[in-house]
Structure 1
Amino acid sequence: MSAPVGMPKPICLIQNQQGRLSTCPEALEVLQSIRQPVVVVSIVGLYRTGKSYLMNRLAGKRTGFPLGSTVQANTKGIWMWCVPYPNRKDRTLVLLDTEGLGDVEKGNTQNDTWIFALSVLLSSTLVYNSMGTIDQNAMDQLHYVTELTERIKAKASPGDSAGGDLEDSTEYLRFFPSFVWTLRDFTLQLELDGRPITEDEYLENGLKLKKGDTPDVRLFNLPRKCIRFFFPTRKCFIFDRPTSRKNLHRLEQMEESELEPDFVEQADRFCNYIYGTSKEKTLPGGHVVTGHLLAKLVETYVETISSGKVPCLESAVLALAEMENAAAVEEAVACYVKLMGQRLSVPTESVPELLGVHAGCEKEALQVFMARAFKDDGQRFQGKLIKTLHDRKEEFCRRNEQESTKRCQALLATLCVELEEKVRSGVYSRPNGHRQFVDDLKDVEERYHQEPKKGVMAEEALKQFLEGKEAVGKAILQSDTALSEKEKQVEEARAREEAARREQEVQRQRQAELEQKMRDQQRSYEENVQQLKVKMEKDREQLLEEQKKMMDSRLAEQQALLNEGFQKEARQMREEIQLLKEENAKVQESPSLEKVVDGICKIIGAIFSGIMKCAEFSQNLSGSSGQSLSRPQQAPALTYWPCPSPAVANNR
């Protein structure tokens, strides 16, 4: 789906009324309509620091998010603006402008912390905006980052309502965004020890730790550790004042040519960096978040916070997967039904013709499911999809048979009009009338066979039609005075043999159709396993990429700690790195299909069992109507095994 239109201005996503957070239905509807991946950029910082101007700039607009021109905070809650991503039609840029932190009129630091935590949880790039320089005062103002582990749990642990701690920071890396610090009205020269430095070097120097273990030192180091451990991808931008102080109140009305050239160049660099480096919002394992999924995340987190609980990232993802996988099944089934409706013209001439259309539609429906589903442990939802698609296929088969039956019955009714008239007028009630009746009936049968597009029930409909004429034929035969009793017996025997031949042909056709359906289920199983294998491999590659980024960031941080002389922290980092290596080794192992296809085997096996019962019923029906009809005593054996061994599936 293309980026949403009709958003000329931002709307409130999360309301903040009297210290209570709640979602806005209108904004959620906008997000739910976006089926594209979203890049979420949020900005946080103290109130009245110019956050909204940067967000408007990212939206490519001069106005939008209210800038405000007084000492009072303007934005309340979290406001959202969805705009087309520059030069990327397949992505939507979601900008989140947050309520200014530290508003003295609000007097609720806990509320500020939740605003900050939600910005971290929802974004793929987090911009922290502050005034002046990176000094201890700036770090003190960033105390919200030190409370993240108290406000957010990374993994679910029964009976534990508290958050995590800094030593478990690796788990948070799977969820947290990249970090950009923007410094407004920066007036210093970028120099260190007499040499020029970059903005990023200035940031890293400001994040250096102080040696010692006193309370003051721990307090000094804590926010710096949090930023370094939680946000390994960091960037810094400095901005001159955009215009003179007396013109700041009309910043929205000012043309770009009226602004300070250095500020314009700095703002352009900032926007280009955000556009060029910001990634799609993803969940652990690399699953890309669409607008629809983002709406679910917003609802989940806000409801949890409003209930007084600590949001658990792992639990939120699992709950999201449950909802999304159920929706993936519905979407895949809808896709299948739509494609079958477009491609299938009933009645088909044969069952393989219908099954061929079904196979193509099932494959595409399965691709739709695989693209959307994630964390489908035990293939529970994939198994549900298999069963549902089988049921839908059987519905199409029944409709195909019904349409064929209706067409055949209508055709036979038309072809036998003359024969019916002769019966009513007594044309056959005379000597040799039976022979004429048989010849006329044969003529109807021959003309019936010559008609095309009768469908799969052609033989069955003809058999039932001829069976309906048996009583008339017997009456005509018995009243035919030109035939001796012996000749009548011969005619009756011939009629029974002909009926037996037709029954045998119908049973042969039914048996062939059952075998074709068995082969189709085998094909379906193999298609499901193959697509699952491809998805598992893709998921494994994404996880390995995620693990590599985490490993690289931790190794870099460990080296930085060693260079700064922090041996204890470096040892703790080494322990995290070792755990990552162990996880990486498990992920690098080629995924075995032995366990994951078990659910598929059970579903396919149940379907095969149903088909086999149909085959057995058909055999019993064939053999229970009397030996004198010379019908087949045993149907051809069905030897297909629905689930090849995992080893075979793995090597296919």
Structure 2
Amino acid sequence: MAPQIPMESPTCLIENRPDGTLVVDEKAMHILLNIRQPVVVVAIVGLYRTGKSYLMNRLAGKRKGFCLGATVQGQTKGIWVWCLPHPRRPDHTLVLLDTEGLGDVQKGNTQNDSWIFALAILLSSTLVYNSMGTIDEVALEKLHYVTELTKKIHTKSSGRCQEEENSAEFVRFFPAFIWAVRDFTLQLEIDGQRITGDEYLESALKLQQGNTEQIQKCNMPRLCIRRFFPSRKCFTFDRPANKRKLAQLEELEEEDLEPDFLEPMNDFSEHIWNTSQSKMLPGGRVVSGTMLANLAKNYVESINSGQVPCLENAVQALAEIENAAAVREALSRYEELMKERLKLPTETVEELLGVHAEYEREATGVFMAHAFGDHLEKFQADLVRNLQERKEEFCRRNEQVSSDHCLAVLMDLSQELDDGITKGIYSVPGGYQRFLEKQHEIVEKYRLVSGKGIQAEMALEEFLRSKKSVAESILQMDKTLSDKEKEIEAERARAQEAQLQQQFLKQNQDRLTQMVEDQKRTLQEQLQLLQEKMERDKEAWREETERVVQHKLKEREQLLKEGFSQKASEMQNEIHRLKKGNYISNSSTVMSALAKTLHTTLFLIGQGLHPPPSLFPVPCPKPSKADGELDLACCSTELVVISPGPSKAANLQLNAIDDS
């Protein structure tokens, strides 16, 4: 879905106030929150007055947009956003983030620069670092912000060694890295051999030999770039035009630009349009504009509160928001389909439960497509509870529609009988037999009427019961019958009433059995869906871990080649920590917890009680199987047979829940 609010020009996303406070702009938030499709987020960082905004305008396919300046004063403040239809992917939105220039002498707040740099990394899927001249020691020294990332960002919320954890896990969170070297006038050659921009970057990132403090300081930004960013690329650009024309850069036509600038500029744009990936969370979760807005808000709130942003906490907070929205969306879809396609009244309970089962599966599919995170089962249990309550509401509505229709039919059919009773035509000798014949005629006609629904027998029983006192009165007044005959007739009427009552009770018990079976089906299907979801998530995590490990192995080989065996050993430790990590290591516990929660939820609904929203899973004490396997013994589908109202069994179950 394309942005609902078209953006003709960029707007401020994160305002950088004079006191150093960062504020998320409501207008930009509103725009992002309305983008439900995946976003490809490209952010640009670099020193102020280095032409960052012009590059972003070119990526937008526009001459004007992000503010340019022709003086030494920086123009962009904070982080500005421009959401555009992606030029290569119809189902994606291209989100461009232009950041405030780093090192502006008018600010005098290097901490603020570090946060802008960190936010650009956290929000983007591709980060462009823009610099002037060449990649030399001065340029690398100015990239000192990257060396501060382990202090500015934590990946884990635990108390483990943050620096070690960050170094190993940052690759999961970090964007692809592109170094854009502006006003580059040198020949791309080393030892007389032509090289590519990428080779130029890798050559510049080689570590210097030695253990002095100065050399370690020089190597630090190189190491951080090599360790943290999953991919690296470099583009070099000559000046776009001669000095006199630079002040009117926005007005220049393509033919007015220098070929040595225009060609790499086009390559740069095509590379980003064609290869930049969607913004993703660890585990392969694709980020939408809505999610990006909530991430930005979470990070800014953490920074303003004086805390170090924790990526794990931010993802979990985002999961809470998205999962709650997924529950609402799934329920909305269920109700929409049920109201649109369920024709009331249904002739049988099976018919309604069949429709419910179909749309329950579709609603759960909607939920599973959007839900993610470590506490998925909590929201799934909430979804099941709400779906069961809505099913019961449709059952009640089905009964009511059927009952109303049946009563209307019986009222119409019995009009002549009621008139005769009022006129006293049955209060004469032989009247009782005429009354029975008329009543039998009504019953026969009633049974021939179609579309009565599931309350047909109950409505008939109530109708006959309503005529019971009249029938007894007419029977007693009928002079043609002896006392013995009247007694026999009264006994026959009682037997007929008992038979109808027995049929109704059996029908009602059959309905209860069907409801229990439907609950069993729900439980089994929900457990199976969660199992499949967790397996997919685990596989995505394994694949991502393998990509990270391959990146680390490549870096380790490079370190060994350069003669840094100690650093290669440290890299091997990072690889070991990554391989050791096990995503959803408690998957069996999660399955057991969901099983218990669903049992309790379905039981309480069956007892006519409403489970509290806070009733969420607790670990099941039964032993579970190997990681990720469903323990069917623990996830038994045995349910207590439900009764029409609260019972002693329900109270015992509630007490057991409290005790647990």
* Residue 627 of structure 1: aligned partner: none
* Residue 334 of structure 1: aligned partner: 332
* Aligned: 1:183 with 2:181: yes
Q: CA separation of 1:550/1:57 partners in 2, compared to 1, >3 Å: closer, same or farther?
A: same
Answer whether contact 2:284 2:544 (CA < 8 A) is retained: yes
Answer whether contact 2:559 2:568 (CA < 8 A) is retained: yes
Unaligned runs of 5+ in 1: 615-642
Q: CA separation of 1:27/1:376 partners in 2, compared to 1, >3 Å: closer, same or farther?
A: same
Answer whether contact 1:42 1:125 (CA < 8 A) is retained: yes
How much has 1:168 moved relative to structure 2? 3.8
1:182 partner SS: strand
CA distance in 1, matches of 2:102, 2:34: 31
* Aligned: 1:645 with 2:645: no
How much has 1:5 moved relative to structure 2? 4.5
**Match among 528, 532, 556 for residue 526 of structure 2:** 528
**Match among 170, 173, 176 for residue 172 of structure 1:** 170
**Match among 573, 578, 581 for residue 580 of structure 1:** 578
* Aligned: 1:277 with 2:275: yes
Answer whether contact 2:316 2:374 (CA < 8 A) is retained: no
Answer whether contact 2:323 2:376 (CA < 8 A) is retained: no
State the TM-score, normalizing by the size of structure 1: 0.91
How much has 1:533 moved relative to structure 2? 2.3
Residue deviations 1:247-285, cap 9 Å, x none? Answer: 011111111121112311111110111112211111111
Q: CA separation of 1:610/1:500 partners in 2, compared to 1, >3 Å: closer, same or farther?
A: farther
Letter in structure 2 aligned against 1:102: G
> Aligned pair count?
614
2:90 partner SS: strand
CA distance in 1, matches of 2:598, 2:57: 54
How much has 1:335 moved relative to structure 2? 1.4
* Residue 118 of structure 1: aligned partner: 119
CA distance in 1, matches of 2:72, 2:606: 79
Residue deviations 1:496-544, cap 9 Å, x none? Answer: 1111111111111111111211221122122212222221122122101
How much has 1:596 moved relative to structure 2? 2.7
Q: CA separation of 1:647/1:607 partners in 2, compared to 1, >3 Å: closer, same or farther?
A: closer
How much has 1:604 moved relative to structure 2? 3.5
CA distance in 2, matches of 1:386, 1:374: 16
Q: CA separation of 1:606/1:90 partners in 2, compared to 1, >3 Å: closer, same or farther?
A: same
CA distance in 1, matches of 2:498, 2:530: 48
Answer whether contact 2:129 2:179 (CA < 8 A) is retained: yes
Q: CA separation of 1:264/1:399 partners in 2, compared to 1, >3 Å: closer, same or farther?
A: same
Answer whether contact 1:39 1:280 (CA < 8 A) is retained: yes
How much has 1:323 moved relative to structure 2? 2.0
* Residue 600 of structure 1: aligned partner: 594
CA distance in 2, matches of 1:445, 1:369: 48
Further displaced range: 137-146 or 377-386: 377-386
* Aligned: 1:81 with 2:75: no
How much has 1:420 moved relative to structure 2? 0.3
* Residue 12 of structure 1: aligned partner: 12
CA distance in 1, matches of 2:499, 2:55: 84
CA distance in 2, matches of 1:612, 1:38: 44
* Residue 616 of structure 2: aligned partner: none
Further displaced range: 595-604 or 195-204: 595-604
CA distance in 2, matches of 1:229, 1:212: 20
Q: CA separation of 1:407/1:603 partners in 2, compared to 1, >3 Å: closer, same or farther?
A: farther
How much has 1:599 moved relative to structure 2? 3.2
1:333 partner SS: helix
* Residue 101 of structure 1: aligned partner: 102
Further displaced range: 112-121 or 3-12: 3-12
* Residue 44 of structure 2: aligned partner: 43
CA distance in 2, matches of 1:603, 1:471: 50
* Residue 494 of structure 1: aligned partner: 492
CA distance in 1, matches of 2:195, 2:281: 35
Letter in structure 2 aligned against 1:156: S
1:127 partner SS: strand
Answer whether contact 1:27 1:80 (CA < 8 A) is retained: yes
How much has 1:69 moved relative to structure 2? 1.3
How much has 1:593 moved relative to structure 2? 6.3
* Residue 203 of structure 1: aligned partner: 201
* Residue 434 of structure 2: aligned partner: 436
2:98 partner SS: strand
* Residue 362 of structure 1: aligned partner: 360
Residue deviations 1:315-335, cap 9 Å, x none? Answer: 111121122222221221111
CA RMSD of aligned residues (A): 1.9
How much has 1:347 moved relative to structure 2? 1.1
* Residue 507 of structure 1: aligned partner: 505
How much has 1:35 moved relative to structure 2? 0.7
Letter in structure 2 aligned against 1:605: H
Letter in structure 2 aligned against 1:7: M
* Residue 70 of structure 2: aligned partner: 69
Answer whether contact 1:190 1:196 (CA < 8 A) is retained: yes
Letter in structure 2 aligned against 1:150: K
CA distance in 2, matches of 1:579, 1:10: 42
Answer whether contact 2:527 2:595 (CA < 8 A) is retained: no
* Residue 2 of structure 2: aligned partner: 2
Q: CA separation of 1:611/1:181 partners in 2, compared to 1, >3 Å: closer, same or farther?
A: closer
* Residue 547 of structure 2: aligned partner: 549
1:329 partner SS: helix
State the TM-score, normalizing by the size of structure 2: 0.90
Answer whether contact 1:101 1:112 (CA < 8 A) is retained: yes
How much has 1:7 moved relative to structure 2? 0.5
2:108 partner SS: coil
Answer whether contact 2:48 2:100 (CA < 8 A) is retained: yes
Further displaced range: 570-579 or 527-536: 527-536
Answer whether contact 2:125 2:176 (CA < 8 A) is retained: yes
Answer whether contact 1:593 1:646 (CA < 8 A) is retained: no
1:597 partner SS: helix
Residue deviations 1:572-601, cap 9 Å, x none? Answer: 011111222223xx46x9x89643322332
2:333 partner SS: helix
Letter in structure 2 aligned against 1:597: M
Q: CA separation of 1:612/1:189 partners in 2, compared to 1, >3 Å: closer, same or farther?
A: closer
Residue deviations 1:378-404, cap 9 Å, x none? Answer: 711111111111011001100111111
Q: What is the percent sequence identity of the aligned residues?
A: 52
The 5 Å alignment of 1:360-439 reads 360-377=358-375, 379-439=377-437
* Residue 559 of structure 1: aligned partner: 557
Answer whether contact 2:534 2:587 (CA < 8 A) is retained: no
How much has 1:376 moved relative to structure 2? 4.1
Q: CA separation of 1:303/1:610 partners in 2, compared to 1, >3 Å: closer, same or farther?
A: closer
How much has 1:608 moved relative to structure 2? 5.1
CA distance in 2, matches of 1:479, 1:141: 111
CA distance in 1, matches of 2:430, 2:478: 6
CA distance in 2, matches of 1:219, 1:469: 99
1:565 partner SS: coil
How much has 1:648 moved relative to structure 2? 9.3
* Aligned: 1:144 with 2:145: yes
CA distance in 1, matches of 2:596, 2:319: 22
Q: CA separation of 1:509/1:121 partners in 2, compared to 1, >3 Å: closer, same or farther?
A: same
Answer whether contact 2:406 2:452 (CA < 8 A) is retained: yes
* Residue 343 of structure 2: aligned partner: 345
Answer whether contact 1:386 1:603 (CA < 8 A) is retained: no
Answer whether contact 1:514 1:611 (CA < 8 A) is retained: no
How much has 1:341 moved relative to structure 2? 1.1
CA distance in 1, matches of 2:46, 2:257: 23
* Residue 156 of structure 1: aligned partner: 157
CA distance in 2, matches of 1:328, 1:605: 22
